[in-house]
């Protein structure tokens, strides 16, 4: 499965059913120069009441900057003028943003790594651009968001290979806590471990739709991987399935259990 198929697969399970209040639509022509323009009428507070950072930029892969470490995570690079505006608006820290491709109706959320991009441009991880169906030079809407701390997160690995790692729980915790600021229901994320990419669908978050995962105690649940296949077993015990036992961080023993509801439970 290539990266485009990895990203497309998440939208097959019903992301169109997600309810979300969209801001006023603004049409953009890729042939027109993009100037950062604020859009009024938003209700969400991000620092100073009634003020929200809302801009439109040309987007490009972060690989163009040579900062390949930003491929792992969902942090972007923005221009210095954005920082000036954000500080003037007293946007809350850590800064988080909703990004939207209005052409295809794709939304996600991200953090910012630095403010060194050329004016009118932002740089995103390649995997995030692919999942947002963005190409070099496309326009992207960026709005500041004050996301709630997550209390629950359900992910679905795309491959059983992830569960075969020596300590998948530790790998997932380290990759998410160090390289992601926030997560969005209905998106596909990528983590890299030992030079291998692993993709995950974000099935559910609590509170709904989008959460901050910075400095929060978030319960983690896993759905069975896409390529999981139940082994043949005696008919008298149809309810039982193969469990994957491994030692979790801290030395306690746990189990990843795939049941007939295609659900994986992490027992600590």
Pairing between β-strand 210-212 and β-strand 139-145 as defined by DSSP bridges: unpaired
Among 144, 165, 194, the domain boundary falls at: 144
The reply to whether 72 and 108 lie within a common domain is: yes
- Tell me the HSE value of 250 on the side-chain side, using a 13 A CA sphere: 6
Rounded Cα–Cα distance for residues 126 and 172 (Å): 20
Determine the straight-line distance between the first and last CA of the chain, rounded to whole angstroms. Answer: 32
| Structure confidence by residue, pLDDT tens digits, 109-137 | 999 999 999 999 999 999 999 999 999 99
What is residue 234's predicted lDDT score, i.e. its pLDDT? 65
Please tell me the distance from the alpha carbon of residue 10 to that of residue 183, in angstroms, as a whole number.
Answer: 14
Is 266's pLDDT higher than 90? no
Residue 97 belongs to a domain: yes
Q: Which two tokens stand for residue 236?
A: 């008298």
Range ranked top by mean pLDDT from 17-26, 47-56, 170-179: 170-179
**Residue 230: band (very low, low, confident or very high) from pLDDT cuts 50, 70, 90:** confident
Task: Tell me, yes or no, whether 48 lies in a domain.
Answer: no
100 and 134 share a domain?
Answer: yes
Which residues lie closer than 8 Å to 260 by C-beta, 6 or more apart? Answer: 230, 238, 239, 241
Instruction: Write out the two tokens for 161.
Output: 């290979």
111: domain CATH number is 2.40.40.50
pLDDT the model gives residue 169: 86
Tell me how many domains the chain contains. Answer: 2
Looking at the fold, whether 203 and 130 belong to one and the same domain comes out as no
The 3-state secondary structure of 22-72 reads: CCCCCCCCCCCCCCCCCCCCCCCCECECCCCCEEEEEEEEHHHHCCHHHHC
DSSP class of residue 220 equals E
Q: Of 61-65, 112-116, 222-226, 237-241, where does mean pLDDT reach its minimum?
A: 237-241
Q: What is the pLDDT of residue 51?
A: 83
User: Across the chain, where does the E strand assignment appear?
Assistant: 54-61, 75-79, 96-101, 106-117, 121-124, 139-145, 152-157, 182-184, 188-193, 196-206, 210-212, 219-223, 243-247, 253-258, 263-266
Mean pLDDT within 185-200: 95
Give a yes or no: residue 266 inside a domain.
Answer: no
pLDDT, tens digit (0-9, with 9 covering 90-100), for 63-121: 999 999 999 999 999 999 999 999 999 998 999 999 999 999 999 999 999 999 999 99
Helix residue spans in 180-261 (DSSP H) = none
Q: Is 21 a residue whose pLDDT tops 70? A: no
Which residue range is the domain that position 183 belongs to? Answer: 152-228
Q: Do 213 and 171 sit in the same domain of this protein? A: yes
Across the chain, mean pLDDT equals: 78
**Domain check: are 114 and 134 in the same one?**
yes
User: Quick check: is 25 in a domain?
Assistant: no
14 part of a folded domain: no
pLDDT at position 188 is 96
Tell which of 105, 125, 144 closes a domain.
Answer: 144
| Domain match, 75 and 121 both | yes
Percent of the chain residues topping a pLDDT of 70: 68
Which spans in 121-207 are helix H?
126-131, 168-179
């Amino acid at each position: 499965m290539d990266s485009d198929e990895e990203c497309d697969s998440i939208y097959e399970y019903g992301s169109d059913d997600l309810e979300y209040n969209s801001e006023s639509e603004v049409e953009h022509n890729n042939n027109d120069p993009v100037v950062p323009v604020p859009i009024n009428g938003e209700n969400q507070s991000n620092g100073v009441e009634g003020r929200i950072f809302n801009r439109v930029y040309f987007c490009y892969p972060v690989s163009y900057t040579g900062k390949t470490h930003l491929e792992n995570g969902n942090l972007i690079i923005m221009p210095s003028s954005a920082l000036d505006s954000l500080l003037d608006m007293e946007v809350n820290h850590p800064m988080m943003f909703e990004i939207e491709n209005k052409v295809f109706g794709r939304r996600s959320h991200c953090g910012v790594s630095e403010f060194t991009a050329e004016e009118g441009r932002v740089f995103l991880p390649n995997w995030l651009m692919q999942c947002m169906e963005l190409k070099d030079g496309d326009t992207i809407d960026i709005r500041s968001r004050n996301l709630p701390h997550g209390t629950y997160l359900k992910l679905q690995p795309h491959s059983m290979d992830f569960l075969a790692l020596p300590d998948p729980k530790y790998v997932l915790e380290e990759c998410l806590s160090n390289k992601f600021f926030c997560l969005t229901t209905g998106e596909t994320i990528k983590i890299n471990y030992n030079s291998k990419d692993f993709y995950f669908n974000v099935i559910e978050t609590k509170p709904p739709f989008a959460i901050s995962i910075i400095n929060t105690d978030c319960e983690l649940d896993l759905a069975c991987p896409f390529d999981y296949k139940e082994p043949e077993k005696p008919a008298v015990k149809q309810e039982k399935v193969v469990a994957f036992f491994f030692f979790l961080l801290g030395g306690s023993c746990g189990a990843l259990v795939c049941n007939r509801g295609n659900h994986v439970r992490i027992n600590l």
